[in-house]
Amino acid sequence: MIQSINKPSVFCYGEVLWDIFPEGARAGGAPFNVAYNLMRMGVDAHMISRTGKDKLGNDLMAQVVDWGISVQDSQIDGTHATGTVIAHIDEHNEAHYDIIQPVAWDFIEFRNDYIEKVSTAEAFVFGSLITRNETSRNTLFQLLEIAKFKVFDVNIRPPFFSVPVITDLLHKADVVKMNKAELRMILDFLGKAYVSEDDSISFIQDKFSISEILVSKGSKGALYYNGNTRYEAPAVPVTVQDTVGSGDAFLAGFLSKRITDAAPQDIMAQATALGAFITSKEGACPTYSLTDFQAFCAANNVVRQNIITNTL
Domain range enclosing 272: 9-311
Which pairing describes strands 175-179 and 212-216: parallel, antiparallel, or unpaired? parallel
* Domain annotation covers residue 66: yes
H/E stretch holding 144: helix 134-144
* pLDDT tens by residue, 55-71: 999 999 999 999 988 88
Domain count, the chain: 1
Counting residues of the chain whose pLDDT is more than 90, the rounded percentage is 86
* Domain annotation covers residue 100: yes
* pLDDT tens by residue, 150-195: 999 999 999 999 999 999 999 999 999 999 999 999 999 999 999 9
Counting residues of the chain whose pLDDT is more than 70, the rounded percentage is 98
Arithmetic mean of pLDDT, 89-110 = 88
The pTM assigned to this predicted structure is 0.95
Quote the pLDDT of residue 242.
83
* Domain annotation covers residue 1: no
* pLDDT tens by residue, 186-231: 999 999 999 999 999 999 999 999 999 999 998 899 999 999 999 9
Quote the pLDDT of residue 3.
44
Of 59, 61, 63, 100, the C-alpha closest to 80 is: 100
* Domain annotation covers residue 3: no
Residue 226, CA distances (Å) to 175, 246, 265 in order: 9, 22, 11
With a cut of 70, say whether residue 2 has pLDDT above it. Answer: no
* Domain annotation covers residue 114: yes
Quote the pLDDT of residue 8.
92
Residue 5 banded pLDDT, cuts 50, 70, 90: low
Produce one character per residue of 170-198: b if its CB has 16 or more CB atoms within 10 Å, e if not.
bebbbbbbbbeebbebbbeebeeeeeebe
* Domain annotation covers residue 225: yes
* Domain annotation covers residue 4: no
* pLDDT tens by residue, 127-151: 999 999 999 999 999 999 999 999 9
* Domain annotation covers residue 271: yes
Of 228, 279, 270, the C-alpha closest to 251 is: 270
Q: What is the mean pLDDT of the chain?
A: 94
For position 205, which CATH number holds? Answer: 3.40.1190.20
Q: How far apart are CA 221 and CA 242, in angstroms?
A: 16
Of 18, 115, 10, 113, the C-alpha closest to 57 is: 18
